[in-house]
Structure 1
């Protein structure tokens, strides 16, 4: 993409900051380079695309990346990918394997079918996290709300966090806390397509953080060009598979021409510190992507609080780590949706890898972006 094209697809993050902007962190991640998968490439009888989450397996030196394809271009699935990441950049990559994510009966999920009773609804897979100690994966579905009419019944598939083996087999699921249930009338709970987008396991393997992309209906508006938003980030105990805490994260206003700003993924640096992606995309007009450091600190635990408007709430502390739009050498910048830690670099720094979702559109790209912390 030429510089004019990049300008059309990006705007500086300065425009999305609120009246009291976060302060940039002293040690910003350094951009190393990227590798792009060819658009429309077919691997193991599936079209590569829709990659919305990523998680690194250091023992195998593999990245597990999940597709949000609802069985339109293949099965509900994840891939393993090998990238050649070093402090000198990204020297290529390739897809290694593909696995279906299976239901409780051991079968692949079928495509949406509203002509049967009950209707068949495919999960909207969005995030993935690898657990090396337990040799398993955690993955989210945003759920799905299907509008009904006189001939087709309405359908409702609730969001979930499920557990899968490395072969995609079903191993169980987490108990969702109150407030993360979709409502058919869309008056409470999550906004459709703005649910469980972010997922990350803490380095000690004890906790799993899950982030909403947008505000719950009862918590206020979604972040747009005029208004900031607030989402909930839930902390789950892995052993009990239950929520133990929940915190508010404030989302900045969206940059001009980008539509709505939200959180597509998170990376747990500890049991109290996160790297958070904020991304607003209205392609092909514009996209804005920034990384923030967020810390629990003195944040209010809002687990079980029906509405954030009912009490005084202290959000997570946050600071700007990196404005990706400000990197002239990062070209193009697309619809970034996933983040994970990568290998330790030869110079001792830790790498971080991001992945973009091309939405199976020719104007977008599937890119793996590498940074050094």
Structure 2
């Protein structure tokens, strides 16, 4: 989801929240522990690298063998061809020192060419949102939200997609798209900018989970200010066949704050997921309202065990005979007491010398000077520590 509606700026609050303060305000979750904030780093706006503009960072993943990170950019080939970056992150158990961009790779179409921009060929222009590295196959999988523009003058429908590529950006294959997620001119199927925002592999790399940011039209209304009735979906794919094998309903939180003006844009949806096991994942919900500078970012421990396979249910609004995924709040970024931008990516990083697992979040600045390409670093503290 692109946050086009920010036209004002608020200065970043200085200082770092203490470990003790974070642990007091974060409720422990059985089996995963608590998140301890270490630090934040923000890239300079419009940073130039190899004749490209760094920004729009919508997904992040860590390659342990190469000790580097992959960052997908949601530039729709407007500034430079659709691409992802490699980066090094420098930090310790007590401080986040810096982020260094080390490489850029162009995403390729099946014919080997770069993706065109909207003016050249809008039907082929991608909207990159998520990227994961498959260490078992030494390949990557990325997602595009597609496009849906329906006006009195014209109609443009481009399906969302999930694609497997080589580390140098070459197209390998695509995952099968269930018919329910094809773009339609009528108010059916997925909403614009509300499609495949997150994805991840199970630890054995046999399965890919793909999250839909917002509800399909048939599944009901978008998240509202006070409601808890918005259901989106998570798709389970078999990695060998690239075929979908199940879908699960996921209930979104209400929008965190009323917009200003009252009829202004507001949204809440799944910005990314981080798969922990065959049935557990972290889900990142990102709420935004016009007139509120901060995004509200909440991290949930989500469990698919016992959730109904809803792939045969066309409307989650009309047919309510299903059990959704369950979720428990793990962390609310508001406890940090600082400006939080449009977080859209999360990955595990390396372990610290004390054995604690690191967790890195990245925010998409939408190439806007009013927003920031932020990185947030946490340590995952086991429950008994």
Of 347, 357, 370 in structure 1, the residue corresponding to residue 364 of structure 2 is 357
Q: Does the 8 Å contact 1:137/1:163 carry over to 2? A: yes
1:334 to partner: Cα distance: 0.9
Of 13, 29, 34 in structure 2, the residue corresponding to residue 25 of structure 1 is 29
Mapping of 1:119-134 within 5 angstroms? Answer: 120-134=123-137
Q: Cα distance 1:108–1:132, how it changes in 2: closer, same or farther (>3 A)?
A: same
Q: Cα distance 1:120–1:189, how it changes in 2: closer, same or farther (>3 A)?
A: closer
1:283 to partner: Cα distance: 5.9
The aligned residue for residue 204 of structure 2 is: 204
Q: Does 1:251 align with 2:252?
A: yes
The aligned residue for residue 192 of structure 1 is: 192
TM-superposition CA deviations, 1:291-343 (whole Å, max 9, x none): 00000121111123211131411111110000111123xx3311100011111
The aligned residue for residue 303 of structure 1 is: 311
Taking the aligned partners of 1:313 and 1:120, their CA distance within structure 2 comes to 36
Q: Does the 8 Å contact 2:123/2:158 carry over to 1? A: no
Q: Does the 8 Å contact 2:255/2:288 carry over to 1? A: no
Mapping of 1:297-336 within 5 angstroms? Answer: 297-308=305-316, 309-328=318-337, 331-336=338-343
Taking the aligned partners of 2:365 and 2:289, their CA distance within structure 1 comes to 12
3-state SS in 1 of match to 2:218: helix
Taking the aligned partners of 1:349 and 1:57, their CA distance within structure 2 comes to 18
The aligned residue for residue 147 of structure 2 is: 144
Taking the aligned partners of 1:144 and 1:234, their CA distance within structure 2 comes to 19
1:5 to partner: Cα distance: 4.5
3-state SS in 1 of match to 2:354: coil
Of 48, 51, 54 in structure 1, the residue corresponding to residue 60 of structure 2 is 54
1:148 to partner: Cα distance: 5.2
The aligned residue for residue 155 of structure 1 is: 156
Taking the aligned partners of 1:252 and 1:57, their CA distance within structure 2 comes to 32
Taking the aligned partners of 2:28 and 2:329, their CA distance within structure 1 comes to 4
The aligned residue for residue 46 of structure 2 is: 40
Q: Does 1:91 align with 2:97?
A: yes
Q: Does 1:291 align with 2:299?
A: yes
Q: Does the 8 Å contact 1:225/1:256 carry over to 2? A: yes
1:224 to partner: Cα distance: 2.2
Taking the aligned partners of 2:52 and 2:370, their CA distance within structure 1 comes to 20
3-state SS in 1 of match to 2:334: helix
Q: Does the 8 Å contact 2:256/2:288 carry over to 1? A: no
The aligned residue for residue 109 of structure 2 is: 103
TM-superposition CA deviations, 1:201-228 (whole Å, max 9, x none): 1111111110000001111111121323
Instruction: Report the count of equivalent residues.
Output: 348
Scaled by the length of structure 2, the TM-score of the pair is 0.86
Taking the aligned partners of 1:78 and 1:306, their CA distance within structure 2 comes to 34
3-state SS in 1 of match to 2:72: strand
3-state SS in 1 of match to 2:34: coil
Scaled by the length of structure 1, the TM-score of the pair is 0.89
Taking the aligned partners of 2:244 and 2:61, their CA distance within structure 1 comes to 21
Taking the aligned partners of 2:147 and 2:29, their CA distance within structure 1 comes to 37
RMSD value, Cα: 1.9
3-state SS in 1 of match to 2:29: coil
Taking the aligned partners of 2:34 and 2:155, their CA distance within structure 1 comes to 47
Q: Does the 8 Å contact 2:346/2:361 carry over to 1? A: yes
Q: Cα distance 1:314–1:201, how it changes in 2: closer, same or farther (>3 A)?
A: same
Q: Cα distance 1:86–1:245, how it changes in 2: closer, same or farther (>3 A)?
A: farther
The aligned residue for residue 67 of structure 1 is: 73
3-state SS in 2 of match to 1:218: helix
TM-superposition CA deviations, 1:208-258 (whole Å, max 9, x none): 110000001111111121323111001111111011111111110011136
Taking the aligned partners of 2:169 and 2:234, their CA distance within structure 1 comes to 26
